[in-house]
Amino acid sequence: MNDTEEKLMNRLNNMLENDLEAINVKIFGARNQKSIEIMIESNQGVTINTCADVTKLAQNIIKFDSLVDSDYSIEVSSPGINRPLFNIRGFYKISR
């Protein structure tokens, strides 16, 4: 994870409520068009409304902190059934 991805993930996690957590952020693409993928999880599940709310929050953080200096698209999703493991908590979560 690069510095921009880490900063966005940390800022998101500082602002997300309840047990909602950003578990991965990936920024890639050409210099003038970036794609930002944000993976979130919650013990209560992730709905389309949750993804929309996190998208708006991420847009505000990116704008306020000037994290991306080009056009970008954001995709927010949950890990799903074939979830990759990003940290030890993810391992414990699926092993219950």
Angstrom distance (rounded) from CA 62 to CA 51? 16
- From the candidate CATH numbers 3.30.800.10, 3.30.300.70, 1.10.510.10, 3.10.20.30, the one assigned to the domain spanning 3-94: 3.30.300.70
Question: In the chain, where are the structural domains located?
Answer: 3-94
Q: What is the pLDDT of residues 44-82, one digit of tens each?
A: 889 999 999 999 999 999 999 999 999 999 999 998 766
pLDDT of 45 reads 87
**Quick one: which of 32, 30, 37 has its CA closest to 75?**
37
Per DSSP (E only), the strands in the chain are 21-30, 33-41, 71-77
Angstrom distance (rounded) from CA 2 to CA 7? 9
Q: How confident is the model at residue 83 (pLDDT cuts 50, 70, 90)?
A: low
Q: What is the pLDDT of residues 9-49, one digit of tens each?
A: 999 999 999 899 999 999 999 989 999 999 999 988 899 99
Q: Is 62 helix (H, G, I), strand (E, B) or coil?
A: helix
pLDDT of 89 reads 61
Total-model pTM: 0.83
